Structure 1
Amino acid sequence: MNLIIINSGQKDLLQKSIDSLINTVETADFNIHIIREKDYREVTLNAILKRYGYEDLLIFGDDIIFTKDWFKVLMANRNEGDIIGFSMLYPGTDKVQDTGYDLVSIDNEISLKPQNRGKKVSDLDEFVLRECDSVNGCALYIRKDVVFKIPEISLDGMNRWGEFIYMNKAKKLGYKIIVLGHYLYHYGKSTKINPNKMLSSESYLLERKIWRNIVDKYIDENQITIHIKKILSNKLKKIVLSNKKILFYGAGTVSEFIYNKLKNNLDLNNIDFCSGLIEEEGKLFCNKRIIFYKDINFKNYNAIIITVFQKEKEIFNAIRAYIIKQKIYYITQDVIGNIIKFDIKKYNFNILN
């Protein structure tokens, strides 16, 4: 078995990853290789498949922190799947990043949903493994016979979804994709430092175009078995409609959904959308031009609503110097069966400080 760590050029992260690997595996039957990232992830992965795919592969990004018994758990379950991944936690927390990904239809739009994102591990039922549509691409076990059958990863993933496209092809050929209930830590940075924004930006507007191309080219709508509907809480509606001037921080799916649901009762002159991504500045979004957050005159707004999940503290710290008397809110979500309910909470500054 060959174990490969992809070196994205982040020395500190790479060293942390290697140290955690050494500290969590006493004896193991694999050869370790450190491979420098090429133009982007799909190109790197194709080089790995070509050079090392003659044996079973373990492929990790350098933003993965290994945890005790990860290899023991993998080996105990290696015969249960053909491509195997791990559940992920946000670094230094007990907050789930994903327990695998499933293709779902959300309000008739196909999406790849990270299961249990944002939940605490203690709130979830323990599980050994489960079958899914995809796993986190920064920690993969791939059997050599899968590589023999599918020797290349499509470049259509654009440094984001190449591994998913590969797993989707494998699943169509009858191979089994599973995620283990064992958690690793994932910084989520290894593919986000590419200087080419087409390959690294987290912009929803950019990623939406790429994803729609993938859906059209690779996904059969008949394979979607999970159908989800989104709704807004009454509290959220009331707060949005009762404030005179609102700034939404975030130009993504949540802001878009809130706007589309309430637009008939909103005055466009009283809402704006801002972003922390300079590449989104001036782009048309919900009939408004996105404003870069550093160019915002915050005193013009009496309410600021942060719509980027799991980033509320980070965003608040970025804008706190501009805040005077504005009310600051952030969006939360609850998943109740096949319903995603968006709600809203007001910041407790004392907790955040």
Structure 2
Amino acid sequence: MEPAHKNVNYELVSNSNENIHRDDVPITFRGTREARRRERLVKRSNGRSLVHHHNIPPLSLLGYISDGFTTVLNARWIVIILLFAAMYVLSWLLFGFIWWGIDSAYVAVTNSSCVSNIDGFSASFLFSIETQVTIGYGYRFVADDCSFGILILVIQCLVGLVIDSFLLGLIFAKITRPRNRRKTILFSDTACINVNNKGEKRLQFRIGDVRSRSSLVEAHVRVQLYWNRKDGETDEYRLEQNDLEVGYDSGTDRIILLTPVVITHIIKETSPLYTVTNDSILNEDIEIVIILEAIVESTGLTAQALWSYTEREILFNYKFKPMIYRQSDAKGTWEVDFNRLSSIEPCSC
């Protein structure tokens, strides 16, 4: 079945820049008329923002440094490994030079060594490593009467503990982040606009969680409409942002993902989508961004999943097919067919 808007011939095309995390071949709906390729606000494959920031004030850039833990936490693993490797090596080199200088000065003043068996920088560097990582071979040690050397020994041990603590805390925080939890939260490929039994026009999309043994608690949905359109007064394009009501006031935005759920926005006169029609939507620059936020039961951490639909992924006069069935066997168990998560059918609404 080929989804179609009125008066527009549609074709299914492969899009190498957009990966739908459920399918082997990414599919998007594209009109042959005025086929525009624009970068999305939200990347579907990983749920990350594709907004590029420019001309950031210098004081704001300093915030990345003052909030260094978050900055490093968001970095790639290879960056973190190289950063801490550099921190360890630099600290060993720094204290290696310090031990070398202390021992040379102590020998010049007292004619005895502050650290035994140090006869050059290589030996000082090895002693620095042995001290900070607490290897303690016993061949090199600080003399009892070298009080300044004992002070440097204490300082280096504390510096090593600080670096170790920061590294362990960062690794734990990065591993336990529930960012990958969103990979098991699936959204339908398209959104549908149809009319319910009360004659109300509505926007619908479907969400499902494939995990059955790690449920999401207090899951709720927010929907934002981003509309890039021309300002009538200045003829400049402005990105407008509006909330699409999905039950925030009534509490129906809180969902239980025991089974896939169809999220509905009633298109009333107050809805920014009220004037959008089947023909006009293709001439608009629209992206509907969905944010699902929930607490992961097994960890107690908050997980987020982002998804979006552009104007060419919103289909009029379609509805979702059922995907939950009760088996006809003696047990009568409920089963969910996720192959039908994005299955739609035309409706006469």
Q: TM-score, normalised by structure 2?
A: 0.20
Q: TM-score, normalised by structure 1?
A: 0.20
Tell me which structure has the larger Cα radius of gyration: 2
